[in-house]
Each structure stands twice: as structure tokens, then as C-alpha cells.
Structure 1
């Protein structure tokens, strides 16, 4: 990672650790174009969704490059721990790892993200500025630059939130309310079981000084959770933005031209 990009990565991680408010969105389309638009709009980060969207490594690589170019921090939601090394070598500023369920598994994830742990070494990819960074320059800088965002999205993880969030090296937590909704079969209005689980994890995060990220339905909900301590907000997806804008435009045209 060249000095400018490395400094940007470290600065973004520091903002997150200080619980500054940051805004991002999921990228579901394996193309650079939506990232250029979203980054240009001023979003702080993009979450390249290699878990639930059709991203191979080459597509993810080009999207990471686009985010770096446009000034949005590129984070990759990996499908499995095996994908962490590739995302980091390709220059992601961090990874979001799904389904943390215990302190032991979380420590393994931390090790895969840090050269101080078990991250496989290479300074030849983009992250090492294609060899411009020397071995120890790359090793020493990388552990200060990489953001590890873990997902708590299973009922068993909610019950173990304190031990998971106590793990050193886990930088922040994303509470996966969609998976929790499915797991709890919470069909009640307001999703009371999911809200209770969310608050339980947030309380644990507060005890361990870990920032909390959420995907929120709207700005009002974001404000409510910000008042409770959340600082990272995912506002939706690139596909959702396109669907909403396309639907709105079509309805506007249909209304204006009705009866003609």
C-alpha cells in the first residue's frame, strides 16, 4: 500500500476506533461504476459484499481499486476466513467477517488479519505497493492500517457477546439484524427479540470500548441507535439505491403522463 493509501487506511481505522460517525453502503454489483458514484457522493466507506453477491477475486480486486481511487475506504465482507488474505493483499482497508460465534474463533480471525498473528506475508501485491514497501515497512505498517470488523448475527453469539468483544484485535462489531431476524423467527412488529439482542450486543460493546456498526432502515432509526452508541452506519445497497430511484422516476412519469 503506497504511503498515501497507507495513511488513508490508518486514518480511517483511527476514525472508527475513536467512534467518529462514518457512513457507508453495501456494494452488491461486481463493477467499479457504482463505487465511483457512491464514493463521489461523499460516503466514507464501501462494503464490497463477497458473501452474498457474485464477487470473484478479480471483480473484488477492481472494486477495491475503484474505492481507493475515489476516496472511499474499501472494506470487503468475505464469504469465509479463507478469503481474508486475498482481500487484504489486494489493498482492502479492512474486512468484515461474518458469523463470529466464540472468543476462540474470533482470535483465529484476528490472527489471519495481523502479521503479528498468522497473516501470510507478501509485499508484492497492491497492499505492499508491488514491492516498493520493504518487508518490515510493510509488516510494521499493515497491522496499524487493517480494520477488522466482526459480525455478530447468531443467537449463540449474542449470548457470548462479552467474550467475543473482549478479544484484543477485534476493532469493531457489525450487528447482523437480518440473520438474527431469521434465526429468532421474529415476525412481530418492531422485531422485539432482535431489538433486545441488538441492545445486548451494544451494551457489551460499550463495556469493551468497541465501536458498533449497523445497517439501518432510515435516518430516523440511525439517529436512535446513534443515541445508544452506534457510530458506523450502512445506509443500504447500490442495488437498493438504483431500485428506489428507478421506481420513483417511473412513478413520476406515469403520473405526469396518465390519461394521454
Structure 2
């Protein structure tokens, strides 16, 4: 993920609602149409987690804006792809983690490698 706009799009299409994904009541999560719609919608909202994968220098530049998007719950830093993109010799190269983590300042935003 590289931009705030991509993050907004992903956050929207991973959830039911206006402009988001359509309702699917015949799924396993909806107990194959036996769970009442309001219960399924509430359960889905409570249990959906969206992780933004940052694996490009453009994504690193925009990671603070990506992390602010409502519906983005965590960040995953694709350190191997970043190492290649930055021309680093390994994922242990300081430039990879320093740039990725330095720009992520949202309080309590889980970040993993």
C-alpha cells in the first residue's frame, strides 16, 4: 500500500455498508443465513481487522497518513521488499527499519515486520 487513498479504498471495501462491500448472509460467518442480519453486521464490524502492508518507499513516505485512515487497524512493514527498493544489502540495513518506523507516529498503532 502506498497512499492514503489506497488505504481508504481498502478500509471501505472490507466492511459492510454504504459504498463498502455488499451484504452476504449465506456465508459461514453469517451461520449460513441463520444469524439475524443486525447480529451478523455487528459481529463483522467487531471482528474485521485490516492490516496495511507497506513495502514500497512511497508507502513509507505516506505511512503516517495511511495509519490515520479510519478502518486501518495495523501496519505490516514488508522489510525484504523495502530493502530491495532502497538498494540495501540486507533487511538488517538500518535504512529499512529506521525509515519505516520513524514515520509511523500514530499512538497505539500496532506495527510489525
- Would you call these one fold, judging by a TM-score over 0.5? yes
User: 1:158·1:200 contact (CA, 8 Å) conserved in 2?
Assistant: no
1:121 paired with 2:23, answer yes
Q: Which residue of 2 aligns with 1:36?
A: none
The match for 1:176 is 78
Q: Helix, strand or coil: the match of 1:210?
A: coil
Q: Out of 79, 90, 104, which is 2:5 matched to?
A: 104
Q: Which consecutive residues of structure 1, in runs of 5 or more, have no partner in the other structure?
A: 1-99, 215-260
Q: Which deviations, in whole Å up to 9, do the C-alpha atoms of 1:207-240 show, x marking residues without a partner? A: 34311122xxxxxxxxxxxxxxxxxxxxxxxxxx
Deviation string, structure 1 residues 29-83 (Cα, Å, up to 9, x no partner)? xxxxxxxxxxxxxxxxxxxxxxxxxxxxxxxxxxxxxxxxxxxxxxxxxxxxxxx
Contact map agreement 1:177 1:194 (CA 8 A) in 2: yes
Shift in alpha-carbon separation, 1:140–1:194, aligned structure 2, 3 A: same
Equivalent residue number for residue 48 of structure 2: 146
Aligned residues: 112
Runs of 4+ with >2 A deviation: 206-209
Residue of structure 2 in register with 1:207 after alignment: 106
* Structure 2 CA distance for partners of 1:180 and 1:188, relative to 1, 3 Å: closer
Look up the SS of the partner of 1:125 in the other structure.
Answer: coil
Whether the 8 Å CA contact 2:83–2:91 is kept in 1: the answer is no
Question: How many angstroms apart in 1 are the aligned matches of 2:64 and 2:100?
Answer: 13
Alpha-carbon spacing, 1:163–1:138, altered in 2? closer, same or farther (3 Å): same
TM (normalized to structure 1)? 0.40
Deviation of 1:113 after TM superposition, in Å, equals 1.1
1:165 match = 67
Q: Which has the higher strand share?
A: 1
Q: Which structure shows the higher helix fraction?
A: 1
Structure 2 regions of 5+ residues with no counterpart? none
Shift of 1:188: 5.9
Higher relative CO (Cα under 8 Å, sequence separation at least 6) belongs to 2
Indicate if the aligned counterparts of 1:151 and 1:176 stay in contact, CA closer than 8 A: yes
SS in structure 2 of the partner of residue 151 of structure 1: strand
Distance 1:188 1:134, change over 3 A: closer
